[in-house]
Structure 1
Amino acid sequence: MELQKGQKCKLADLTGSGQLRISVTVSLPGSEADVTCFGVDGAGKLSDDRYFIFYNQTSSPEGAVSMHQSGESAVFSVDLNRLPGFLQRLVVTVAAESGTMQALARGLLTLEGELDRAAYVFTGAGYQQEKALILCEVYRKDGIWRFSVVDSGFNGGLSALLAHFGGEEVKPDPPTPAPAPPEPKVNLSKISLKKSGESHKIDLTKNRRRIHVNLNWDQRRGLFSRGIDLDLACMYRLKDGRQGVIQALGNSFGAADQPPYIKLDKDDRSGASANGENMDFFRPELIDFAVVFAFIYEGVPNWRSTNARVVLSQQGAPDIEVQIDNPNSNERFCVLASLTGRDGGLEVRREDLFFNSHRAVDAHYHFGFRWVAGHK
């Protein structure tokens, strides 16, 4: 069934069980789209904020409404029979994180039940300064569940939508003022590679202990803070010619007790972990060449807001730090450092280079990998 703006229909035409899926796919160049669902009462208000379903709260308390996101698509699974009696309406909205809805290239709304499927195509044509739109409503009238295509612009963004429905945004506490900095001192326990091309050699003839690599970054979190998924990875070539990639993408976490003797311990998708992401080179003397890089797996590229830094540490040796302080916001990949095995040591060199893909990193450093699509 093809739907038109303003069209209404009874959900009984689509589902007899009360189970349905509402899918929204949005292509919004230059921004990300936040697709949300407001469960409101008879007065049109969000009287229980647990029924505001969005990326930081993906399910209602009893599971009657749940949300799954993948790329540009959001899917709401709804069980009308489990909704509490005070909920009279489910309102699905779309908000631009930046820019306006005028930039909306294409959107697709589908409603699926076991009996039929309905679809509605929408674009940004006709919109100007609106930052959001109320897309559709599932509502109860005279004891019967119905569906309506609204497609109406809304001047504010997601915060304004929340206020419109009577909700209140929880804002993060203001940061505590930092104490006055102490007099600068030379830190003998850390070497900072501050300029591209600067290097430091680790003497492996005296110390072959494992080298630990830590990636950490800052997250500014409020109710609507999505957070950037920043991943640690490396491409390596061993002295025996074996080479590969260590990363969470494709579950290529490596191994500690067999080649390549490189292991990524986890994938911190939120940035909330105080320890960030960690990788260990258990046999550094076997490394011929490797590059350590970070990439933004999810979220709009914005290196400036991450304050990302990587620290290489080895017991008995000073830490080596590389800070991303010259960010390029247009690329998702940043090669932080290279490791080159030569003359009984491992030379750590600051790279500070930005790329748009794994292939581009590979091409620059001449590994010659064959790339296929992967996921976490």
Structure 2
Amino acid sequence: MIQMQKGQKLKLTDLAPDGRFRVSVSAALPEGEADVTCFGVDGAGKLSDDRYFVFYNQTRTPEGAVEMTQSSGTTEFSIDLHRLPAFVQKLVVTVALDGGVTMRKLTRSLLTIKGEREQAEYTFDGDGFQEEKAIILCELYRREELWRCAVVASGFNGGLSALLAHFGGEEVRPAEPAPPVPKVNLSKISLKKSGESHKIDLSKNAGRIHVNLNWDRGRPGLFKTGGDVDLDLACMYRLKNGTQGVIQALGRSFGSASDMPYIRLDGDDRSGAALNGENMDFFRPELIDFAVVFAYIYDGVPNWRSTNARVVLSQEGAPDIEILIDNARSNARFCVLASLTGRDGGLEVRREERFFNGHREVDQHYGFGFRWVAGRK
């Protein structure tokens, strides 16, 4: 048994080498109840996907990496770190009080982290607090490829609203007499580093995933100048039935919305003058086994840094996923922006940011095995 103190840190591998453990919180009060929650936050410390806010009204994350149960005044989270998506860099366990009660009223309360190998405990009560109505009790976080735990035990006088605001959300209170229901505003998920990923839960998706490519325009004028550049959006795909192909303006392979492969490229912005850039839709994303979304410089000087290229994947009822190629130094004409992998009823979107000199190099790197001939728009 490890007895933890405020501010203490420990490696979770010392408790649970397999990455699976339980976190339980018993917050004792003479009156009223405590709401115990778990926030899954990104590298910026923000709740960028509200499906990773686990509380009494949403008791599990989409893939089941965090599941919450309540019994006899104790809230327990069953956690499997290996199932968490890469964008979740920290799990934050919090306690919030409603009404006029503050943390000073807490009697002997207990935080327990129990793994296969060892158990750690932290005992707390009202002597350590003043007028706080919400506290961050502990944080489980990634650092240098290892997960660690830290006891924080400090918080906010403003209660749940202040706690949500700290993580980038807000509390929405419906009209009385219904009780307040915390809800987090949807915001963009930015994949900022190569290899970062986010999983789309297709069971909650309306069916279509829209991809938009946009970039900084060249110098305005009637004729093209050296500053103009024409980016083309494209993808290579493999479906779960083994069908594979390429969707691109080159060769006029625009695809289809109503027939296989249910991927459609909407025209070709050859000048870069269209304000909405280039667009592609995946109408049946559940059919995707693996795909790469890429852009290539069809015309103009191959200087990615000057294009400020950005791609946004949007879906109804969920945050947009944004990838911004804003610091690229490569002079290669092709950039694979993202990969899409069908897995466990979802679609994992991963930032690639890999540069190539042609279609064949892209194909060889990702192993599609196409036969290539010259094409033109």
Scaled by the length of structure 1, the TM-score of the pair is 0.50
Scaled by the length of structure 2, the TM-score of the pair is 0.50
